[in-house]
Amino acid sequence: MTSRLSRGLAIFACAVVVAAGCGGEVSDSDTDSDSTTAFGASATNSDETQPLESDDSNASSTSAEAAEPTMPAAAADVPPAAPEKSPASETEDEDETAGSEQQSATRNIYDDPRDGLFDEFQATMDRGDHPFMQIDAFCKAHDPAPERVATDAGIQADSISVVHFRQKIENLVQIGFASDVGDTREMGETFVAYVNEQCGGVRGRTIDLHTIEVDVIDNQAQELQFAACIEATEDHNAVIVLNTTGIFEEAALCIVDQQQTMLILNTSMPELIIERSEGRLISSTNSAEQALRTLALDLIESGELEGKTVGVAASDAPGRYEAVETALVDVLRANGVNVAVFDKLGCTGVPCMVGGVETVGRMRSAGVDVFFNVLNILTAPPFFNEMANQGFEPGDVQFYASTFNSQANELVSSKIVQFGGAGAGELYNGAVMLDSRDIGGYRLDDYEPKAFNEMCAETYASYSPSRTRHDIESAPGEASAPYGMVTNVCSFLRMTMRAIYDAGDNPTTDDIHSALVNLGAVDGNEMLPNSIRPDKTTTPDVYRIFQWEFPCTKNYEFVVPGSPDGICIYPISEFLPIS
């Protein structure tokens, strides 16, 4: 490995790996439950899920009737004939009926076939005739605003500047550190072209999209991303910057803090950066700390950690150890959990294994039977391999992971087997994970593509220069990553267009920012409940529990290079609200 590649990977290991899986969604039954945690919910729910300790924890979801997503009728069906009434009562009834029909016609609530919390979420989003909120089209043609004028550097009378900041993850694909997510540049350009050509722009202003591409594997990667931040905000005067292929924390901070520009991304960011953004950073995933905190509290409430001896090891990468300490270890200890080992691993290169052998030894001596995996993509494999070398056997330790360091990502966690060997994979088998996405939901029975995803895929297939159709049904598993990415790009641009539209005829940058953080419910991948408000700029409203399996016994295993067996992640709980 060249020194350039080695240093690039060292930098990259501290960032979030982008493998943009689609994450299928399974039909949830609308059953009552006395439990408020994902771990305990299965005890009182239907047989969709089983308790974690059950031998049947791999059970698939409860079947639900397959139905095409439909919008409610504009007016109620004609009622059966009623007894004759007096002329006065007939007039009153006619007025009431007319009013009822008018009210029904103005409401436009999507009827989610999954029912339950999904319908509750959709009920919060009356789509009306909003040109950027419909399910059957990315946008609708609408009248231009009269007397448009320039209001800010990036907002001209006839155009608004938006930047698509993308890492060239195709370079990572070549060395096995990213999944092929398709042509993200073309995706962004296609949806913007559709807005400009089919819908008349936004209130008559066309979207001036600038795509900035940077190499992620380079010994100057951080410097390149910082330069891209300056180019986006100062050269192109971006009103909003979009990122769907990963970004370093320093570059994100440059955009939202130093340059005070809005940024929409799918990278899990530390809460410190989110706070410093003052509402300008919108993320489609939980913050790094929120994922850990939600996992810890769910396990505590369900009683899964009672009588357990916990081990945690975190790298000394800037901000990582502190995030793990405050969001995970302190929460566990404050609730009486025995965290016997909490060690810091030194990063002098790749992986972060300085002190790792000694940490495993302390875990062995302390009788650790629960381990929270907060390690990065390059550190987890040798660490678990060391555990196996020091005598830990499959079943000795229950592993837990989350969005933190992307350990709920199949590509990332597959490296445990690829680099750590089958022994490490067998030790980690049965790991339980928390995420706000629906990872591997397509592996379960009765998966149905969602209406919003299908609209996005169809728009891209019909209007892109390549006419590429990404289809989860014909390309499930790892091959579905482009399908999920199309929806991510589609979702981010819809949020952008909604904010610009809602900001009025002649908006300023501040007006658009205010509109963005007040969007409320938003459409996202797999149509999971997502929302934005001034005090909540990470969009997920729900989370789910998943299981990691090696060797994979489900359909569409994730292939591990150099191993005869693949891994897979799939849901083992229903979705629950994030508190």
Q: Is the pLDDT of residue 197 over 80?
A: yes
The identity of residue 7, as a single letter, is: R
Burial class (CB in 10 A: 0-12, 13-18, 19+), 21: buried
Distances (CA, A) of 526 to 194, 444, 469, 488: 22, 15, 17, 10
The DSSP symbol for 441 reads: G
Q: What is the percent of the chain where pLDDT is above 90?
A: 70
Question: Of the candidates 406, 311, 394, which has an alpha carbon nearest to the alpha carbon of residue 358?
Answer: 311
* pLDDT averaged over every residue in the chain: 84
Query: Going by CATH, does the domain composed of 159-285+448-540 fall within 3.30.420.40?
Result: no
Confidence of residue 120 (pLDDT cuts 50, 70, 90): very high
Cβ partners under 8 Å of residue 364, min gap 6? 390, 391, 392
> In whole angstroms, what is the distance from residue 554 CA to residue 399 CA?
20
Q: Is 211 helix (H, G, I), strand (E, B) or coil?
A: strand
Q: Bigger pLDDT: 268 or 318?
A: 268
Per-residue pLDDT, 474? 66
Confidence of residue 446 (pLDDT cuts 50, 70, 90): confident
Q: Is the pLDDT of residue 65 over 50?
A: no
Residues 267-273, mean pLDDT to the nearest whole number = 92
Q: Is the pLDDT of residue 476 over 70?
A: no
SS3 content of the chain, % helix, strand, coil (to 5): 40, 15, 45
Confidence of residue 551 (pLDDT cuts 50, 70, 90): very high
Confidence of residue 1 (pLDDT cuts 50, 70, 90): very low
> In whole angstroms, what is the distance from residue 425 CA to residue 498 CA?
45
Per-residue pLDDT, 9? 52
Residues 97-121, mean pLDDT to the nearest whole number = 76
Q: Bigger pLDDT: 266 or 472?
A: 266
Distances (CA, A) of 98 to 89, 94, 104, 107, 163: 14, 6, 10, 14, 47
> In whole angstroms, what is the distance from residue 148 CA to residue 335 CA?
58
Range of weakest confidence among 60-69, 95-104, 246-255, 556-565: 60-69
Give the torsion sign (CA, 111, 112, 115, 118).
negative
pLDDT in tens, 392-404: 999 999 999 999 9
Per-residue pLDDT, 312? 98
DSSP letters for 115-130: -THHHHHHTT---TT-
Question: Of the candidates 352, 16, 291, which has an alpha carbon nearest to the alpha carbon of residue 178?
Answer: 16
- The CATH architecture of the domain made up of 289-435+544-577 is 3-Layer(aba) Sandwich (3.40)
> In whole angstroms, what is the distance from residue 109 CA to residue 15 CA?
39
Question: Of the candidates 391, 394, 416, which has an alpha carbon nearest to the alpha carbon of residue 565?
Answer: 416
Equal fold, 159-285+448-540 vs 289-435+544-577: yes
Q: Is 255 helix (H, G, I), strand (E, B) or coil?
A: helix
pTM of the model: 0.83
Q: Is the pLDDT of residue 13 over 70?
A: no
Q: Bigger pLDDT: 32 or 167?
A: 167
Confidence of residue 2 (pLDDT cuts 50, 70, 90): very low
CB 383 within 8 A of CB 375: yes
Please report, for the chain, the start and end positions of each structural domain, with discontinuous segments joined by +: 159-285+448-540, 289-435+544-577
pLDDT in tens, 326-359: 999 999 999 999 999 999 999 987 789 999 999 9
> In whole angstroms, what is the distance from residue 534 CA to residue 518 CA?
6
Residue 59 CA from chain centroid, whole number: 24
Q: Is the pLDDT of residue 553 over 70?
A: yes
pLDDT in tens, 168-194: 988 888 788 778 899 999 999 999 999
